[in-house]
Chain A
Amino acid sequence: MNKINLVISSTYAAIISSTFVVIITIYAELSPALKDWLKSISGHHWTTKSIFTALIFALALIALYSFRKNGSDRTKQSLVLLLAFVLVGSIAITAFYTGHHFKIW
Protein backbone atom coordinates (compact mmCIF):
# COMPACT_ATOMS: atom_id res chain seq x y z
CA MET A 1 0.00 0.00 0.00
CA ASN A 2 1.43 3.37 -1.08
CA LYS A 3 0.24 5.78 1.60
CA ILE A 4 1.17 8.97 -0.29
CA ASN A 5 -0.73 7.78 -3.36
CA LEU A 6 -3.67 6.92 -1.12
CA VAL A 7 -3.70 10.44 0.36
CA ILE A 8 -3.35 12.17 -3.04
CA SER A 9 -5.94 9.89 -4.70
CA SER A 10 -8.47 10.37 -1.89
CA THR A 11 -7.85 14.13 -1.96
CA TYR A 12 -8.60 14.40 -5.69
CA ALA A 13 -11.58 12.02 -5.23
CA ALA A 14 -12.89 14.37 -2.51
CA ILE A 15 -12.41 17.36 -4.83
CA ILE A 16 -14.33 15.55 -7.61
CA SER A 17 -17.19 14.50 -5.29
CA SER A 18 -17.41 18.00 -3.73
CA THR A 19 -17.56 19.59 -7.19
CA PHE A 20 -20.32 17.13 -8.10
CA VAL A 21 -22.29 18.16 -4.98
CA VAL A 22 -22.09 21.87 -5.87
CA ILE A 23 -23.03 21.37 -9.54
CA ILE A 24 -25.87 18.86 -9.00
CA THR A 25 -27.31 20.89 -6.10
CA ILE A 26 -27.48 24.18 -7.98
CA TYR A 27 -28.49 22.63 -11.31
CA ALA A 28 -31.27 20.55 -9.70
CA GLU A 29 -32.77 23.66 -8.07
CA LEU A 30 -32.85 25.40 -11.44
CA SER A 31 -34.14 22.35 -13.33
CA PRO A 32 -37.27 20.70 -11.86
CA ALA A 33 -36.86 17.83 -14.34
CA LEU A 34 -33.45 16.95 -12.92
CA LYS A 35 -34.75 17.19 -9.34
CA ASP A 36 -37.65 14.88 -10.22
CA TRP A 37 -35.25 12.42 -11.84
CA LEU A 38 -33.06 12.43 -8.70
CA LYS A 39 -36.17 11.86 -6.60
CA SER A 40 -37.32 8.99 -8.84
CA ILE A 41 -34.15 7.00 -8.14
CA SER A 42 -34.33 6.71 -4.35
CA GLY A 43 -37.55 8.46 -3.37
CA HIS A 44 -35.77 11.67 -2.27
CA HIS A 45 -33.43 13.96 -4.21
CA TRP A 46 -31.06 14.35 -1.23
CA THR A 47 -30.77 10.58 -0.74
CA THR A 48 -29.84 10.16 -4.40
CA LYS A 49 -27.28 12.97 -4.15
CA SER A 50 -25.81 11.32 -1.04
CA ILE A 51 -25.56 7.91 -2.73
CA PHE A 52 -24.05 9.41 -5.90
CA THR A 53 -21.55 11.45 -3.85
CA ALA A 54 -20.40 8.36 -1.94
CA LEU A 55 -20.18 6.31 -5.16
CA ILE A 56 -18.29 9.02 -7.05
CA PHE A 57 -15.83 9.41 -4.16
CA ALA A 58 -15.26 5.65 -3.86
CA LEU A 59 -14.94 5.04 -7.61
CA ALA A 60 -12.67 8.05 -8.16
CA LEU A 61 -10.48 6.95 -5.25
CA ILE A 62 -10.14 3.41 -6.64
CA ALA A 63 -9.51 4.64 -10.21
CA LEU A 64 -6.99 7.33 -9.21
CA TYR A 65 -5.15 4.99 -6.84
CA SER A 66 -5.02 2.22 -9.47
CA PHE A 67 -3.79 4.37 -12.33
CA ARG A 68 -1.68 6.95 -10.55
CA LYS A 69 2.04 6.59 -11.13
CA ASN A 70 4.44 6.76 -8.21
CA GLY A 71 6.96 9.53 -8.01
CA SER A 72 5.59 13.03 -8.30
CA ASP A 73 4.76 14.18 -4.80
CA ARG A 74 2.19 16.96 -4.96
CA THR A 75 0.45 15.96 -1.75
CA LYS A 76 0.55 19.39 -0.14
CA GLN A 77 -0.77 21.17 -3.25
CA SER A 78 -3.63 18.68 -3.58
CA LEU A 79 -4.64 19.20 0.08
CA VAL A 80 -4.57 22.99 -0.34
CA LEU A 81 -6.76 22.57 -3.42
CA LEU A 82 -9.23 20.41 -1.47
CA LEU A 83 -9.53 23.01 1.30
CA ALA A 84 -10.06 25.74 -1.30
CA PHE A 85 -12.74 23.69 -3.10
CA VAL A 86 -14.61 22.96 0.14
CA LEU A 87 -14.47 26.63 1.19
CA VAL A 88 -15.60 27.90 -2.22
CA GLY A 89 -18.21 25.12 -2.49
CA SER A 90 -19.69 25.94 0.94
CA ILE A 91 -19.87 29.65 0.08
CA ALA A 92 -21.33 28.89 -3.37
CA ILE A 93 -24.11 26.67 -1.99
CA THR A 94 -24.99 29.14 0.79
CA ALA A 95 -24.91 32.10 -1.61
CA PHE A 96 -27.03 30.22 -4.14
CA TYR A 97 -29.78 29.37 -1.63
CA THR A 98 -29.66 32.92 -0.22
CA GLY A 99 -30.18 34.34 -3.72
CA HIS A 100 -32.85 31.73 -4.42
CA HIS A 101 -34.74 32.65 -1.23
CA PHE A 102 -34.67 36.37 -2.05
CA LYS A 103 -35.64 35.55 -5.66
CA ILE A 104 -32.46 37.06 -7.11
CA TRP A 105 -32.32 33.95 -9.34
Chain B
Amino acid sequence: MDIISLLQSKPVLIGLHLGFAIIGIDLFFWLLGKFKDRIGSVKNRVTIAGIGTLALISSWIAGGYYYVVYYGSLVKPIIKEGVAPWAHNIVMEAKEHIFLFVIPMAVVVFFIALMNDEEIDRSGIRKMAVWLSGTVAVLGLLIGAMGFIISAAARWGALQ
Protein backbone atom coordinates (compact mmCIF):
# COMPACT_ATOMS: atom_id res chain seq x y z
CA MET B 1 0.00 0.00 0.00
CA ASP B 2 1.49 3.36 -1.02
CA ILE B 3 1.21 6.51 1.09
CA ILE B 4 -1.61 8.02 -1.01
CA SER B 5 -3.73 4.86 -0.65
CA LEU B 6 -3.01 4.84 3.07
CA LEU B 7 -4.11 8.48 3.45
CA GLN B 8 -7.30 7.75 1.49
CA SER B 9 -8.28 4.77 3.64
CA LYS B 10 -11.35 5.19 5.85
CA PRO B 11 -9.82 4.87 9.36
CA VAL B 12 -6.91 7.16 8.48
CA LEU B 13 -9.24 9.80 7.02
CA ILE B 14 -11.42 9.74 10.15
CA GLY B 15 -8.28 9.93 12.29
CA LEU B 16 -6.94 12.90 10.32
CA HIS B 17 -10.34 14.64 10.42
CA LEU B 18 -10.58 14.26 14.19
CA GLY B 19 -6.88 14.79 14.92
CA PHE B 20 -6.62 18.05 12.97
CA ALA B 21 -9.89 19.25 14.54
CA ILE B 22 -8.54 18.59 18.06
CA ILE B 23 -5.35 20.52 17.24
CA GLY B 24 -7.45 23.43 15.89
CA ILE B 25 -9.81 23.43 18.90
CA ASP B 26 -6.95 23.32 21.40
CA LEU B 27 -5.06 26.13 19.66
CA PHE B 28 -8.10 28.41 19.54
CA PHE B 29 -8.77 27.78 23.26
CA TRP B 30 -5.10 28.60 23.90
CA LEU B 31 -5.45 31.76 21.83
CA LEU B 32 -8.54 32.73 23.83
CA GLY B 33 -6.40 32.76 26.98
CA LYS B 34 -3.66 34.75 25.24
CA PHE B 35 -6.14 37.42 24.13
CA LYS B 36 -7.87 37.51 27.53
CA ASP B 37 -4.72 37.82 29.65
CA ARG B 38 -2.62 39.84 27.14
CA ILE B 39 -0.04 37.06 26.99
CA GLY B 40 2.38 36.46 24.13
CA SER B 41 3.84 38.52 21.32
CA VAL B 42 2.12 39.19 18.00
CA LYS B 43 4.40 36.59 16.39
CA ASN B 44 3.37 34.03 19.00
CA ARG B 45 -0.38 34.67 18.56
CA VAL B 46 -0.13 34.74 14.75
CA THR B 47 1.67 31.38 14.85
CA ILE B 48 -1.04 29.83 17.07
CA ALA B 49 -3.88 31.30 14.98
CA GLY B 50 -2.17 30.32 11.71
CA ILE B 51 -1.52 26.71 12.73
CA GLY B 52 -5.02 26.50 14.25
CA THR B 53 -6.63 27.74 11.03
CA LEU B 54 -4.52 25.38 8.89
CA ALA B 55 -5.46 22.49 11.20
CA LEU B 56 -9.17 23.28 10.80
CA ILE B 57 -8.78 23.55 7.00
CA SER B 58 -6.99 20.17 7.00
CA SER B 59 -9.82 18.68 9.10
CA TRP B 60 -12.31 20.12 6.57
CA ILE B 61 -10.47 18.49 3.63
CA ALA B 62 -9.96 15.08 5.32
CA GLY B 63 -13.54 14.97 6.65
CA GLY B 64 -14.95 16.27 3.39
CA TYR B 65 -13.13 13.62 1.35
CA TYR B 66 -14.40 10.86 3.66
CA TYR B 67 -17.94 12.29 3.59
CA VAL B 68 -18.12 12.57 -0.20
CA VAL B 69 -16.34 9.33 -1.11
CA TYR B 70 -17.38 6.88 1.64
CA TYR B 71 -20.08 8.22 3.96
CA GLY B 72 -22.91 8.58 1.42
CA SER B 73 -22.57 5.09 -0.01
CA LEU B 74 -21.41 3.09 3.05
CA VAL B 75 -22.49 4.78 6.29
CA LYS B 76 -25.58 6.84 5.47
CA PRO B 77 -27.72 3.83 4.37
CA ILE B 78 -26.90 1.99 7.63
CA ILE B 79 -27.93 5.00 9.73
CA LYS B 80 -31.09 5.67 7.70
CA GLU B 81 -32.24 2.06 8.10
CA GLY B 82 -31.13 1.81 11.74
CA VAL B 83 -32.62 2.85 15.08
CA ALA B 84 -31.76 6.54 14.71
CA PRO B 85 -32.27 7.85 11.18
CA TRP B 86 -32.48 11.34 12.70
CA ALA B 87 -28.73 11.07 13.33
CA HIS B 88 -28.21 11.57 9.61
CA ASN B 89 -31.28 13.66 8.77
CA ILE B 90 -30.70 16.22 11.52
CA VAL B 91 -27.25 15.83 13.09
CA MET B 92 -25.13 15.03 10.02
CA GLU B 93 -26.92 17.55 7.83
CA ALA B 94 -26.45 20.27 10.46
CA LYS B 95 -22.82 19.24 11.13
CA GLU B 96 -21.66 19.35 7.52
CA HIS B 97 -23.16 22.81 6.98
CA ILE B 98 -22.33 24.46 10.32
CA PHE B 99 -18.70 23.43 9.69
CA LEU B 100 -18.71 25.89 6.78
CA PHE B 101 -19.02 28.79 9.28
CA VAL B 102 -15.87 27.82 11.16
CA ILE B 103 -13.05 28.47 8.65
CA PRO B 104 -14.06 32.07 7.78
CA MET B 105 -14.35 32.81 11.52
CA ALA B 106 -10.92 31.29 12.14
CA VAL B 107 -9.48 33.52 9.40
CA VAL B 108 -11.02 36.59 11.09
CA VAL B 109 -9.33 35.56 14.37
CA PHE B 110 -6.05 35.11 12.48
CA PHE B 111 -6.30 38.72 11.23
CA ILE B 112 -7.07 39.95 14.77
CA ALA B 113 -3.92 38.10 15.92
CA LEU B 114 -1.91 40.36 13.56
CA MET B 115 -2.77 43.30 15.84
CA ASN B 116 -0.68 44.12 18.89
CA ASP B 117 -2.21 44.66 22.35
CA GLU B 118 -2.35 48.44 21.94
CA GLU B 119 -4.18 48.17 18.61
CA ILE B 120 -6.62 45.60 20.03
CA ASP B 121 -7.41 47.82 23.04
CA ARG B 122 -7.66 50.98 20.93
CA SER B 123 -10.24 49.26 18.71
CA GLY B 124 -12.11 47.99 21.76
CA ILE B 125 -12.21 44.42 20.44
CA ARG B 126 -10.37 42.47 23.16
CA LYS B 127 -13.59 40.96 24.51
CA MET B 128 -14.76 40.12 20.99
CA ALA B 129 -11.39 38.50 20.17
CA VAL B 130 -11.90 36.27 23.22
CA TRP B 131 -15.51 35.51 22.24
CA LEU B 132 -14.63 34.76 18.62
CA SER B 133 -11.70 32.47 19.52
CA GLY B 134 -13.97 30.70 22.00
CA THR B 135 -16.77 30.36 19.45
CA VAL B 136 -14.42 28.73 16.91
CA ALA B 137 -13.29 26.25 19.60
CA VAL B 138 -16.79 25.58 21.00
CA LEU B 139 -18.30 25.12 17.53
CA GLY B 140 -15.47 22.66 16.86
CA LEU B 141 -16.35 20.76 20.05
CA LEU B 142 -20.06 20.72 19.18
CA ILE B 143 -19.25 19.42 15.70
CA GLY B 144 -17.09 16.74 17.36
CA ALA B 145 -20.00 15.73 19.60
CA MET B 146 -22.22 15.54 16.52
CA GLY B 147 -19.65 13.25 14.90
CA PHE B 148 -19.80 11.00 17.96
CA ILE B 149 -23.60 10.74 17.69
CA ILE B 150 -23.33 9.89 13.98
CA SER B 151 -20.69 7.20 14.62
CA ALA B 152 -22.79 5.71 17.44
CA ALA B 153 -25.88 5.67 15.21
CA ALA B 154 -23.91 3.86 12.49
CA ARG B 155 -22.60 1.29 15.00
CA TRP B 156 -26.08 0.59 16.40
CA GLY B 157 -27.50 0.55 12.88
CA ALA B 158 -24.93 -2.06 11.83
CA LEU B 159 -25.63 -4.18 14.93
CA GLN B 160 -29.37 -4.23 14.34
Contacts and interface: CB of A to CB of B under 8 A. Distances in A.
A69 interface: no
Nearest to B134: A83
Main SS class of interface, B: helix
Contacts of A49: 97, 100
Interface string A55-79: 0010001000000000001011001
B125 A94 contact: no
Nearest to B115: A3
Interface residues of B, number: 35
Interface of B: 60, 64, 67-68, 72, 85-86, 89-90, 93-94, 96-98, 100-101, 103-105, 107-108, 111-112, 114-115, 119, 123-125, 128-129, 131-132, 135, 139
Contact of B125 (A53, A75, A98): A75
A101 B92 CA distance: 12
B107 A25 contact: no
Is the interface on chain A under 10, 10 to 19, 20 to 34, or 35 or more residues? 35 or more
Given A4-B119, A47-B64, A79 B125 contact: yes
B94 A83 contact: no
A47 B68 contact: yes
B19 to A, nearest CB: 20
Contact of B103 (A25, A54, A90): A54
A16 B10 CA distance: 34
Contact of A76 (B67, B100, B101, B123): B123
A101 B90 contact: yes
